[in-house]
Amino acid sequence: MVSLWLAGALWAQAQAQDDSDSITLADVLQGAQEWAHQNLDTNAWGIWQSLNAQTAHQFLRDMQRRFQGEYIVSLAPYRDTAAALVPWLESRPETRPYASWLKARLDYFEVAEEFRVTIPPPALETNLPPPPPPVPVSPLVLLRELWLRKVAGEYLPPEATNYLLRLKPVFIAQRVPPELFWLAEVESDFDAEARSPSGAVGLFQLKPDTARRFGLSLSPEDERLYPEDNARASAQYLKYLHDRFQDWRLAIAGFNAGEKTVQKLLDRYHTRDYSKIARRLPAETQMYVPRVEAILERREGVKLSNLPAPPDPAIVLTPVDEEE
């Protein structure tokens, strides 16, 4: 039942999305009912008719709590639903951008499930002598290992090569390590038209306020849909975040969760160390940072903490004159 309700709610989000980022309860209920009426049999449709505003509010609060909360394992139950929903979203032109956004995040649900089953269960009382205590594994280390295993078998997205040649120079021109170009794989799976229910758009999933802050216009055309423009604004934001936090893990966390979220946690715990606040970040961000780290190691063979300084744009981008 939760799976069906999730599908309807996400459909409504896709339909109701605009630059105001507002989704009303009426929008959710109408979208869910329309989806159910078109896709469910008569018996299931009868169940859907019993849904009411209270049920909708409860579901939306639950989803918001799970994605913005601190508990990664709370994402695990939605793995199958999310995977099943992607083909349906892809089948309709108006929801296809949301399919790209969701598809790029399917790995979060899978790793959350692996994280859940890897955590040792509580010991049961028996007459047998107790086994030696397991060597404790830091959740941060465990997440890193899970993501490294996850991306090890992933092939290069077909669109990546084309964008690599076009967009790495954009990052270099902004004095940002060009390896961070691979954030586009994490954010959108290299779909320039990807759109999130919260209003983020494009290869690097820029929200409206961030896009405007770094010089992009949203009307009459949304410049976030242009790969070079999206990359330039994203590189500028990454540079700003690194200048502010002086640490790439904190900068990447800020790119995903927002700089204010990261700064509040640093202030609250009187630290400048990512590892001291990682378990207090939103669940998505807890997954996002080690995923970026794993992607960089897979695609570039570099560690996020050891990113080299970008080369001088003049040296890289200026062609060498041929000798006469």
In this structure, the answer to whether residues 105 and 244 fall within a common structural domain is: no
pLDDT tens readout for residues 144-193: 999 999 998 788 888 898 899 999 999 999 999 999 999 999 999 999 99
Mean pLDDT for the chain?
Answer: 77
| DSSP conformational letter for 69 | S
pLDDT tens readout for residues 59-91: 334 554 666 777 788 788 878 777 777 777 787
Tell me, yes or no, whether 296 lies in a domain: yes
Tell me, yes or no, whether 215 lies in a domain: yes
Measure CA of the first residue to CA of the last residue in the chain; give whole Å. Answer: 74
pTM for the model: 0.73
In this structure, the answer to whether residues 177 and 297 fall within a common structural domain is: yes
Q: Which residues contact 195 (CB under 8 A, 6 or more apart)?
A: 14, 17, 97, 98, 100, 101, 201
Tell me, yes or no, whether 67 lies in a domain: yes
In this structure, the answer to whether residues 165 and 312 fall within a common structural domain is: yes
Domain count of the chain?
A: 2
Q: Which domain holds residue 208?
A: 157-317
In this structure, the answer to whether residues 171 and 298 fall within a common structural domain is: yes
Q: Which residues contact 279 (CB under 8 A, 6 or more apart)?
A: 70, 139, 140, 286
In the predicted model, is pLDDT for residue 301 greater than 90?
A: yes
CATH code: domain of residue 194? 1.10.530.10
In this structure, the answer to whether residues 189 and 104 fall within a common structural domain is: no
In this structure, the answer to whether residues 271 and 174 fall within a common structural domain is: yes
Mean pLDDT along residues 94-98: 81
Tell me, yes or no, whether 152 lies in a domain: no
Tell me, yes or no, whether 127 lies in a domain: no
In this structure, the answer to whether residues 68 and 190 fall within a common structural domain is: no
In this structure, the answer to whether residues 162 and 109 fall within a common structural domain is: no
